[in-house]
Amino acid sequence: MKKEHRFLIVVDMQKDFIDGSLGTQEAQNIVRPASQAILEARRLGFTVIATRDTHETDYLETREGIRLPVKHCIRGTEGWEIDPQIASCLGEDAIILDKNTFGSTRLPEVVRENLKEGEEASFILLGLCTDICVVSNAMLLKAAFPESDMGIYVPGCAGVTPEKHAAALETMASCQMDMLDRIA
């Protein structure tokens, strides 16, 4: 029997998505449960990987920027930073991955680099936005690790709108991901 290596994936818990240029009340409401989940996962020995949406100053000229003409998560700005409460919970050993699109194509590679021989990965994801970056990263991981357990920590996720959040959760459930209300 293979040993399970548990990963908590914290998706884009950045200022611009919480209380900045694209912030919402729903995003602000998940900071506390997400923080508690991160601390619990660390206590249980999870490897914590956090993604950070990262754009350059030419964002409005990119394909995404043309379709979403709101400057956000520009490298080096306050809005690009991970929310201070979340950052304090991540700890110094968290792996931070900058990504320039919805899903981190490096994420599966980094997971593989952290697996020891004989280990199988399992995943819990939380973060922002459920209907864009959380679902994108979940699908990348599901494709790379189709036999791995994968859960979405629902109290730690928020979408662009409550309706889109619910639709994304339904989509991920259809793709055989478990909807969780606790970390362990």
What percent of the chain lies above the pLDDT cut of 70?
A: 99
Q: Is the pLDDT of residue 143 over 70?
A: yes
Averaged over 24-35, what is the pLDDT?
A: 98
User: How confident is residue 184, by pLDDT bands cut at 50, 70 and 90?
Assistant: confident
Q: What is the 3-state secondary structure (H, E, C) of the chain?
A: CCEEEEEEEEECCEHHHHCCCCCCHHHHHCHHHHHHHHHHHHHCCCEEEEEEECECCCHHHCHHHHHCCCCCCECCCHHHCECHHHHHHHCCCCEEEEECCCCCCCHHHHHHHHCCCCEEEEEEEEEECHHHHHHHHHHHHHHHCCCCCEEEEEEEEECCCHHHHHHHHHHHHHCCCEEECCCC
Q: How confident is the model at residue 1 (pLDDT cuts 50, 70, 90)?
A: low
CATH code for the part of the protein at 3-180:
3.40.50.850
| pTM attached to this predicted model | 0.97
Domain boundary assignment for the chain? 3-180
**What mean pLDDT is reported for the chain?**
97
- pLDDT of amino acid 58: 97
